[in-house]
Structure 1
Amino acid sequence: MPTESSADGGPDRAVAAPFAAALAAADRCVLCGMCLPHCPTYAAHRDEGDAPRGRITLMQGLAQGRLDPGNERLRAHLEGCLGCRSCEAVCPARVPFAALMDATRTILRENPARRWHPIPDRLVAPLRNLVLRRRSARRFAALAARTAHWLGLRHLLPARSRLGRVLRHTGPSLRRMPALPAPTGPDTADVLLFTGCMDAFFTGPDAAAALEVLSAFGLQVWVPRNQVCCGALDQHLGRPAEADALRRRNEAAFGTGTRPILALDSGCEAQLREYPQIRWQQRVTSLTALLAELPADRVRWRDDPVRVALHLPCTLRNVTRETAGIRRLLERLPGVTLAAVTPPGNCCGAAGTAMLSQPALADSLGRPTLAALAATGADVIVSPNVGCSVHLRALQTPESLRMVSPAAFLRERLPPRPGPT
């Protein structure tokens, strides 16, 4: 790990002084090491700088002005964290590691390294912000992505290039956004549906499936049109102001009240549940957690046998803690058997954008995860996280198991709709 480094070889306390308040909670770490067996980057690299304990030590160095945020080795250790929060889940001192890492990445972003970037963030940011905030922009970008995949443009780019990786890795998961059935109005809705910013790229069919399933349960659904990205991407890449702006727009779109807000993706749900408003936190839940509390016999299900390998992403295990709900719901469905899965690690490597920015590490974690799911002899893999699904699907071979979201799987278990007479 780096110990001293600034542009002229010494510490830069004037730059580091503002970091102390943001990183004060790092002092709660007692360096016990209980987090080490649970950290995927430490398991991969066996480097203390890539362990939660080591990263906290680096954060303390930043806060105390002993380390320069422009130091390349420092940045590699801190930017390499996958954000799985497994360390936070087992920490006896309850160190808020995720919040510390978000603050640290804000510091790194505001004090950039002295290296040349092929595509500076300042050029990409306006396009990214537009896509996260405007549905029309998302649909145009998604159309461009599907067209590039259909034309095979990925074959014209080096596999090791960033754009080549993006096209190759996301291509197998691209789905056209279907026309959603007309939802009910806000005054008569039982639940509100959060569709997220990946609807035009990957999850549009999942939203349509969720509406059908909720309708089968007799629930009226409202889909606020003014909703935007949950803010997780900005939050975890050191852009808190942008994430906060998205939060305010979502709070305005969904309004006040007590009706449940359903998130179809565990990553979005984790971010939404950490919005500061207590009432909002109490409203946000997942589709499966809500349905697990309702009588399953309210719906007539198919009863043909199917064996399911359930993938439990980091956000579900370490943040929302809703693993019991999804298991309970699926086990109550006629004909459904959950296969026992013994994953080799605790993270598949997707980790938001890490599957694109850290491809070697992401793939080295994803392949064993995929193999463990396939070894169950299941008929289908169900994963409640879109990023994990995109990553694992990209690593699959043609003979691999089909991978679907909980909403899509539940829709498949409904009886066939009667055709026109």
Structure 2
Amino acid sequence: MPPKPSAGRPAPAGDPPFANALAAADRCVLCGMCLPHCPTYAAHRIEGDSPRGRITLMQGLAQGRLDPGNERLRAHLEGCLGCRSCEAICPARVPFGALMDASRTILREHPDRRWRRIPDRLLAPLRALALRRRFARRFAALAARTAHRLGLRHLLPARSHLGRVLRHTGPSLRRMPAMPVVPGADAPDALVFTGCMDAFFTGPDAAAALEVLAAFGLRVQVPPDQACCGALDQHLGRPAEAAALQRRNEAAFGAGDRPIVVLDSGCEAQLREYPQARWRQRVTSLTALLSRLPVDRIRWRVDPVRVALHLPCTLRNVTRETAGIRQLLEQLPGVTLTAVTPPGNCCGAAGTAMLSQPALADSLGRPTLAALAAPGADVIVSPNVGCSVHLRALQAADALRILSPAAFLRERLAAHSGPT
């Protein structure tokens, strides 16, 4: 049965933000070039789970011809992983990511069953506080680590959402260490964006990045009032919340032309799409910045190590910075990049999809892990925290370590004798 037409609902196509995105959807010529690059279409072989199928559904939704409460419609649109592989390959340059964000805004504004929004409404203030305030993130992270240590995950059904959260994120939980003091930070050469996962997973990576930047002679500063980049809200249909986070970050990092060094490819992709052109020009990844500096002036370890480089969707399809990270790692003495050709285009993490769509996420993550480990690598390096959390959860206890670029670079500094 096809999705039902709207029953008397006002057509949401009059909303200006989506009206603009809808006009861009008309560029799609249904050529099908995107089909081989879509992980959900490859998994399900259903037209509604393909980019062109979803574009057709989004047009019907925006024009009021389809009921936003229809279960099948919602499943197709909410099931998109947002990898944007279709956007990268599209000859007509359809902005699929913007279309999907806008369509999810419509779905959120027109819920099919009001009771389904009760948990979200109850948690919304806590989520907003955690994304904006470091003390709230630290408290939430402490609670998560405590629950993991007490083994509460074993008391919850594996298929329950909370049980999945505790089991899947547990192997990656890390305390946020004291950040090293960088001399001359009052007149910094660069500013560091740490993101909202610092208290949960990436705190040690941020500390490692500061050490590496200091080794290159750079004076850096971590603005204390920064907040989440807004990607989680943006891609879940909460544009007002995402815009508020954007304004918070713009105020925290201020004007000027000092580079904003981002440690996670997902955050970088979101920050790059803030509307101000001057801001976008300042945003760079840690590896892109360092690849432009004289790497040979740093004292590195020379013992051999084989690295399997994981290139997440945000790096390949949005920031398009795959060359910089390769160039940097290939310049390091003793480092050999293994030849990796992961199956498919997405590891399945996809923001929160690894928690909300566990079967699909795991079916994509396992072959990705197998491909990364196959060439005899010693370590996996991934510049995306979500991908790292997801892949680490799927590994056996004695499997390869998965490190961020910052953590790997710190390990290769001559001052470090081995893994930390």
Q: What range is the shorter-chain TM-score in?
A: over 0.9
Match of 1:167 in 2: 166
Equivalence for 2:24: 25
Find the counterpart in structure 1 of residue 106 from structure 2.
Answer: 107
Specify the alignment match of 1:135 in structure 2: 134
- Is the CA contact 2:132–2:228 (under 8 Å) kept in the aligned structure 1? yes
User: Shift in Å at residue 115 of structure 1?
Assistant: 6.3
2:185–2:221 CA contact under 8 A, matched in 1? yes
**Which residue in 2 is equivalent to 1:190?**
189
CA separation in 2, counterparts of 1:117 and 1:239? Answer: 16
- Secondary structure at 1:403 match in 2: strand
Whether the aligned pair in 1 keeps the contact of 2:381 and 2:403 (CA below 8 Å) is: yes
Q: Which residue of 1 aligns with 2:374?
A: 375
Equivalent position SS for 2:2:
coil
Tell me, yes or no, if the aligned pair for 1:20 and 1:64 is still in contact at 8 Å. Answer: no
Counterparts of 1:16 and 1:256, CA distance in 2 = 36
Specify the alignment match of 1:275 in structure 2: 274
Q: What TM-score do the two structures reach when normalised by structure 2?
A: 0.96
Deviations 1:153-173 (A, max 9, x none): 000000000000000000000
Distance, in Å, in 2 between the alignment partners of 1:330 and 1:14 is 51
Number of the residue aligned with 2:221: 222
Distance 2:115 2:370 in 1: 38
Alpha-carbon distance, 1:28 to partner: 1.3
Check conservation: 2:410, 2:416, Cα contact below 8 A. Answer: no
Deviations 1:122-168 (A, max 9, x none): 11111111100110000000000000000000000000000000000
User: What's 1:178 paired with?
Assistant: 177
Q: Structure 2 vs 1, CA of residues 72 and 335 (structure 1 numbering), >3 Å: closer, same or farther?
A: same
After superposition, where does 1:148-297 map in structure 2 within 5 Å? Answer: 148-183=147-182, 187-297=186-296
Contact 2:194/2:263 (CA < 8 Å) preserved in 1? yes
1:326-349 per-residue CA deviation (whole Å, 9 max, x = no partner) reads 000000000000000011111000
- Any conservation in 1 of the 2:11–2:63 contact (CA below 8 Å)? no
Cα distance in 2, alignment partners of residues 168 and 118 from structure 1: 24
| 1:92 paired residue number | 91
What are the ranges of 5 or more consecutive residues in structure 1 without an aligned counterpart? none
Deviations 1:301-354 (A, max 9, x none): 000000000000000000011100000000000000000001111100000000
Residue identity in the other structure for 1:228: A
1:335 maps to what in 2? 334
Q: Is the 8 A contact 2:69 2:112 kept in 1?
A: yes
The CA RMSD measured in Å over matched residues stands at 1.5
Q: String of CA shifts for 1:168-209, please: whole Å, max 9, x gaps.
A: 000000000000012456651111100000000000000010
Q: For residue 2 of structure 1, what is the aligned residue in structure 2?
A: 2
Three-state SS of the structure 2 residue aligned to 1:238 is coil
What secondary structure, in the 3-state scheme, does the structure 1 residue paired with 2:191 have? strand
The residue number in structure 2 matching 1:349 is: 348
Residue of structure 2 in register with 1:397 after alignment: 396
When the two structures are aligned, how many residues end up with a matched partner? Answer: 415
Please give the alpha-carbon distance, in whole angstroms, between the structure 2 residues aligned to 1:103 and 1:397: 39
Instruction: Write out aligned runs for 1:3-82 (5 A).
Output: 3-6=3-6, 10=7, 12-14=9-11, 17-18=14-15, 20-82=19-81
Return the alpha-carbon distance in structure 2 between the equivalents of residues 46 and 417 of structure 1.
Answer: 49
SS of the residue corresponding to residue 23 of structure 1 reads helix
Q: Partner of 1:229: helix, strand, or coil?
A: coil
- 8 Å CA contact 1:183–1:223 kept in 2: the answer is no
TM-score by length of 1: 0.96
For the residues of structure 1 that align with 2:103 and 2:310, how far apart are their CA atoms? 30
Cα 1:417–1:36 shift into 2, 3 Å: closer
Tell me how far apart the structure 2 counterparts of residues 219 and 65 of structure 1 sit (CA, whole Å): 54
Give the Å deviation of 1:261: 0.4
| TM-fit CA distance, 1:100 | 0.5
Give how far 1:111 is off: 0.4
**Structure 2 residue 135 is the aligned partner of structure 1 residue 125:** no
1:279–1:186 distance in 2 versus 1, CA, 3 Å: farther
- Offset of 1:13 from its aligned partner? 4.5
Residue pair 1:13, 1:64 contacting (<8 A) in 2 also: no
Q: 1:380 to 1:14 in 2, by over 3 A?
A: closer
1:26 and 1:44 map into 2 onto residues whose CA distance is 24
Q: Write the distance in 1 (CA, Å) between the matches of 2:189 and 2:229.
A: 21
Gaps of 5+ in 2: none
SS in 1 for 2:261: strand
